[in-house]
Chains A and B, each alone.
Chain A
Amino acid sequence: MKYLENSFLLIAIIGLFSSVPTAVFAETIEDNIIIAQNDTTQNKVVVYEVFGMDCPGCQSGLEKQVKKIEGVADAKASFIAKEVIIELKPDATVSDEEIESRIKKANFTPGKKVEAIKNEE
């Protein structure tokens, strides 16, 4: 009986957490990419390695530069992950050179393009 009660409780907890919006748990870059794939309104997302950021202040400086690019909807940088996640508007054509130029204007060094995900919707 005790085992049954515990099982019901566990199922209830899992059910409760599964109803919470996924974004709450989107703390890592990988999570963000997965959300981008599942969300039908999401745009194309590209991720770049960036070297030279050492604090949260650096993140906002880089984001400000990248958001100036025509066709960029949003940008999130992480000095811990050494990456910037760039969300492009639908049908936007932004060259790698343009993104790398903006990273350099923020006084950082672009690394390799980690991931490129295109929404099929």
Chain B
Amino acid sequence: MLSALLISVTLNSIAEGISVDAGLTPAQDRIIVRLQYRNIFNQMGSNDIVMHIFPVVVAYGLTPDITLMMRNMYRNVGINETMMEMDSRWMDPFLMGKVKLYRHNAPTYTVGIAGFAGTTFPVLNSSISKNYSPVIGLNVSYRPGLWSFDLNNAYEWVNLNTRESQSVAKEVQVNMAISRNIILPGIDNWVLAPVQEFSFLQSHSNSEDVSNKYGFISPGFQVVSPNVKIEGLYQIAVNSSNNTGVTNGNRIIVGLRFMF
């Protein structure tokens, strides 16, 4: 049971790592493919856990108001000095729908609010949990001129056992991102955007009655063109010493996004 919470701690990714348009749903028929690499370094006591995560996200604008998203990630376990069993494998696929709740496009700013709901599906033979992990959340975006302010909130029932209606853990994620577009002189239609993210996460293991609060302060950047976005983020762990015995290390996220 504790291991499920630990996996949740190490793999949380709904609100983490560079907002995907947050409260603004993309255009109808828009296809977005996001490839990422995340380097995760944790310690359990003096034992190291090093993982390399490769999430793949495909989003599709079904209508201007509804976006469908599928995510799957491959986990490569580099170093595992703990007693927990963790193998390198594809994780359970995650399907999500995002709905536009409000959007106002003014001449000088844009405001958008979107709600989302999704879950993992234990359809792979390699699935360990055999349970679903439902997520609900709310995204808010405010874009005055060249500035961007995005707020992502998510609530996840980690490994919900449908027979007992009881999840192994519950997790709250709050993520705020601030960025500003800088027009690159001499390069048409490309912008550089320094990004600063703040993430707060709280997990609670129902079976062990153990809570865990931690966060990240994450400077990063985006380079945006009409059809490609390059992303980089360095996550500095804050308050990583917690009740689970796991200490979060700093993380690196790099990504490539294609927009069709």
B203 at the interface (CB under 8 A from A): no
Contact status B25-A107, CB under 8 Å? yes
Q: In chain B between 105 and 129, which residues have their CB closer than 8 angstroms to a CB of chain A?
A: 105-107, 110
B28 at the interface (CB under 8 A from A): yes
Q: How far is the CB of B55 from chain A (nearest CB, A)?
A: 19
Contact status A60-B226, CB under 8 Å? yes
CB-nearest residue of chain B to A55: B224
Contact status B110-A60, CB under 8 Å? no
Q: In chain A between 38 and 76, which residues have their CB closer than 8 angstroms to a CB of chain B?
A: 51-52, 54-57, 59-65
Which stretch from B2-10, B11-19, B187-195, B244-252 is at the chain A interface?
B187-195
Contact status B107-A82, CB under 8 Å? yes
B143 at the interface (CB under 8 A from A): yes
Assess A105 versus B148: contact at CB under 8 Å? Given A56-B189, A57-B259.
Answer: no
Contact pattern, B 146-178, Cβ under 8 Å of A = 1, otherwise 0:
101000000000000000000000000000000
A-B contact pairs, 29 of them (CB 8 A): A27-B188, A51-B105, A51-B107, A52-B103, A54-B110, A54-B181, A55-B191, A55-B224, A56-B190, A56-B191, A56-B225, A56-B226, A57-B225, A57-B229, A57-B259, A59-B189, A61-B30, A61-B259, A64-B30, A64-B260, A65-B28, A80-B183, A105-B27, A105-B28, A107-B26, A107-B64, A107-B100, A109-B105, A111-B107
Q: B residues bordering A, Cβ < 8 Å? A: 24-30, 64, 100, 103, 105-107, 110, 143, 146, 148, 181, 183, 188-191, 193, 224-227, 229, 259-260
Contact status B226-A59, CB under 8 Å? yes
Contact pattern, A 95-111, Cβ under 8 Å of B = 1, otherwise 0:
00000000011111101
Residues of A within 8 A of B29 (CB): 64-65
CB-nearest residue of chain B to A109: B105
Beyond A56-B190, A61-B26, 16 extra complex contacts between A and B, CB < 8 Å: A27-B188, A51-B110, A54-B148, A54-B181, A56-B225, A56-B226, A57-B224, A59-B189, A60-B226, A61-B27, A61-B259, A64-B260, A65-B27, A107-B24, A107-B27, A107-B103
Q: How far is the CA of A59 from the CA of B229 in the complex (A)?
A: 13
Q: How far is the CB of B19 from chain A (nearest CB, A)?
A: 12
Interface centre among A54, A59, A106, A109 (most CB of B within 10 A): A54
Q: How far is the CB of A24 from chain B (nearest CB, A)?
A: 12
Interface of B is mostly: loop
Contact status A56-B64, CB under 8 Å? no
Q: How far is the CA of A83 from the CA of B259 in the complex (A)?
A: 20
CB-nearest residue of chain B to A65: B27
CB-nearest residue of chain B to A82: B107
The total of chain A residues at the interface (CB under 8 A) is: 23
Q: How far is the CB of B22 from chain A (nearest CB, A)?
A: 12
Residues of B within 8 A of A62 (CB): 27
Q: How far is the CA of A105 from the CA of B26 in the complex (A)?
A: 9
Residues of A within 8 A of B148 (CB): 54
Q: How far is the CA of A92 from the CA of B191 in the complex (A)?
A: 35
Q: How far is the CB of A68 from chain B (nearest CB, A)?
A: 8
Contact status A51-B106, CB under 8 Å? yes
Q: How far is the CB of B230 from chain A (nearest CB, A)?
A: 12
Residues of B within 8 A of A27 (CB): 188
CB-nearest residue of chain A to B229: A57
Contact pattern, A 6-21, Cβ under 8 Å of B = 1, otherwise 0:
0000000000000000
The 3 closest A-B pairs by CB, nearest first: A52-B105, A60-B226, A109-B105
Residues of A within 8 A of B105 (CB): 51-52, 108-109
Residues of A within 8 A of B189 (CB): 56, 59
